[in-house]
Amino acid sequence: MEVPTAIIMGGRVRSPAFGRLTGSKVTKMSELTHFDEAGQAHMVNVGEKSETYRIAVACGRIHMQPATFELVAGGTAKKGDVIGIARVAAIMASKRTSDLVPLCHPIGLTRVAVDFELDEKTHAVTCTARCECYGKTGVEMEALTAVQVGLLTIYDMCKAVDRGMVMTDIRLLKKDGGKSGRWTAERA
């Protein structure tokens, strides 16, 4: 099977992801909004779009050893309140998304809420972030960035006792607003 080729920044890139099936349709370079006809990356022009209320909710988990989980749950980790610090880090990260993701627009967030759920049975912590704004572009990347950095902060604060922690299931749960309207993940 021949691997599809895309021309990006003047060079050829071979990737099984380019031209792959997504649902029942093939995603082509012309359908990817961050690339022009020549395959050059650019920031999408949202100047003509209408401002609408937008929300996005994302989540992810970090799995750890039972002893590490006890430190987090009990608030007795050597570096301090792991969940509290992770919450602040997640909120801060959501506000800096456009500095981290090259083609992401800077947006005026109106609300960021970050929650953590501790699961004693699986020794995992789930981070859920909800971002909101009234603007011309969505807040999915901000919610996903918040989750990633929240989990990464937990890893950082606990790595001295557990370097084997694993971050999993990071994904968008739902988004609403804008031209594409409402979207909800198929499985929760």
What mean pLDDT comes out for the span 12-27? 47
CB 52 within 8 Å of CB 177: yes
Q: Which two tokens stand for residue 13?
A: 């890139």
> How confident is the model at residue 39, as a pLDDT?
75
Asked which of 19-23, 40-44, 116-120, 141-145 is least confident by mean pLDDT, the reply is 19-23
Asked which of 31-40, 139-148, 172-181 is least confident by mean pLDDT, the reply is 31-40
**Whole-prediction pTM value?**
0.80
Identified catalytic residue from 81, 119, 156, 169: 156
* Of 43 and 12, the one with more pLDDT: 43
What mean pLDDT comes out for the span 180-185? 93
For tokens 């807040």, the residue is 139
Beta bridge partners of 63: 124, 166
What amino acid is encoded at 26 in this protein? Answer: V
Q: Answer yes or no: is pLDDT of 36 > 80.
A: no
> How confident is the model at residue 35, as a pLDDT?
74
pLDDT digit string (tens) for 122-174?
Answer: 999 999 999 999 998 889 999 999 999 999 999 999 999 999 999 999 999 99
Distance (Å, rounded) from C-alpha 130 to C-alpha 77?
27
The fold for domain 52-184 equals Alpha-Beta Plaits (3.30.70)
Asked which of 30-34, 53-57, 76-80, 171-175 is least confident by mean pLDDT, the reply is 30-34
Hey, is 89 helix, strand or coil? Answer: helix
Active site residue 156: yes
CB 67 within 8 Å of CB 161: yes
Sign of CA dihedral 68, 74, 80, 84: positive
* Of 151 and 6, the one with more pLDDT: 151
Sign of CA dihedral 62, 63, 65, 66: positive
Q: Answer yes or no: is pLDDT of 23 > 90.
A: no
* Interstrand relation of 124-135 and 109-119 (parallel, antiparallel or unpaired): antiparallel
* Interstrand relation of 21-22 and 124-135 (parallel, antiparallel or unpaired): unpaired
Average pLDDT of the residues of the chain: 86
Confidence of residue 38 (pLDDT cuts 50, 70, 90): confident
CB 125 within 8 Å of CB 119: yes
Q: Where are the beta strands (DSSP E) in the chain?
A: 5-8, 11-14, 21-22, 25-26, 52-63, 109-119, 124-135, 166-176, 183-184
What amino acid is encoded at 147 in this protein? Answer: V
Widest Cα–Cα separation across the chain: 55
Q: Which two tokens stand for residue 134?
A: 């009234």
Q: For the chain, where do the domains classified as CATH 3.30.70.640 start and end?
A: 52-184
pLDDT digit string (tens) for 111-122?
Answer: 999 999 999 999
> How confident is the model at residue 41, as a pLDDT?
78
